[in-house]
Amino acid sequence: MASWSSDTPCSCDCFVSVPPASAIPAVIFAKNSDRPRDEVQEVVFVPAGTHAPGSRLQCTYIEVEQVSRTHAVILSRPSWLWGAEMGANEHGVCIGNEAVWTKEPVGEGEALLGMDLLRLALERSSSALEALRVITDLLARYGQGGSCREDPTPFCYHNTFLLADRTEAWVLETAGRLWAAQRIQEGARNISNQLSVGTDISAEHADLRTHALAQGWWDGQSTFDFAQVFSLTQQPVRMEAAKARFRAGQQLLQQQQGGITAEVMMGILRNKESGICMDSGGFRTTASMVSILPRDPTQPCVHFLTATPDPSRSVFKPFIFGAGAAQAPQVLSPTFGARDPVQTQPRFQTQVDRRHTLYLRHQVALGLIESEQDRGQQLRQKQRDLEQEGLEAARRLLAGEQVPPPQELGGLFQAFVERESQVYA
């Protein structure tokens, strides 16, 4: 059965701050996506849509039924698949997912990837709770499965999710089609490639406890602790490393309780000492995202995305849903149609170049940063200045000091992508 091995990438970190942990009246969401080193993530904008009754939707491996209306979404996704590692929708819902292995065996068949479930939930929900219900309903109907990397050797896992909206957050953790969830109404929370929902269960699969009892994992008398009952007895090495990252993430959040901002979250995502900013062997942090979700529904949500690897040497660029929102072509990977290795059978027997324009220019800039001290320092300063400009624009907007027309707001991300491309030209 394909699952994990000692050298496969299996690390990500998600964070959320709910007032009063936040410095402002807003929920703040953040994620580092840690993936195979050479995998490219693109940032994709998908507008809202309407769909004919009976329509079918092709996800990464399987088809599902389409709904009549889908919401506009911004996605950071590995460019070979349909779903996403993280993203947000026009209603201020944000979701990040992570790999997890439990006592429940990982299926070998192709089904919905956790990344597919994430995108489907964003397209179909207007709150974090509704997104949770979308995921669990699809999980019950279709299950989860299929290889999660672009490689002939299958790499399969189950998923945990951090879901947030303007008012609250949910941690949803799965084991096959089973699941448990914890509601977060205040404070800060993080997840890191392990089960973390213990006895504080806010919602769960109807058969969760009876299944655990039947398997002999729970005695039916003691307090039911989901993480304890379903976690593997013998953890792989990288799962032990995830525990260290989880504790480090908790500490970093705790140190900033009451003062957590988007900049604080960016700093946490850039923390290399803890391993949260990953760069080890065959995998690294390939993309990052931070979102500000104001409690005031009249204020726009602001989502910062890198579209490039290593947040410590990338620029978080602001995206706001608005009338002028459109796809930024510089962060869209090339497509290969029927020749794509994910479309042909057997899958992933060949490789294609999925690097988008910004990725290519960013890689050249990283080379200069590493090899030419003076030029590298100049580039890093330009990156920092551009990011600060975006953060200041968000601050003024949320403070009501400067409210550009909707057309200008919608084009903000594309404008920053173009400017970053010029920095590297």
Q: Is 12 a catalytic residue?
A: yes
Q: In terms of DSSP bridges, do strands 69-70 and 49-50 run parallel, antiparallel, or are they unpaired?
A: antiparallel
Catalytic site residue from 12, 14, 94, 148: 12
Q: Which residues are catalytic?
A: 12
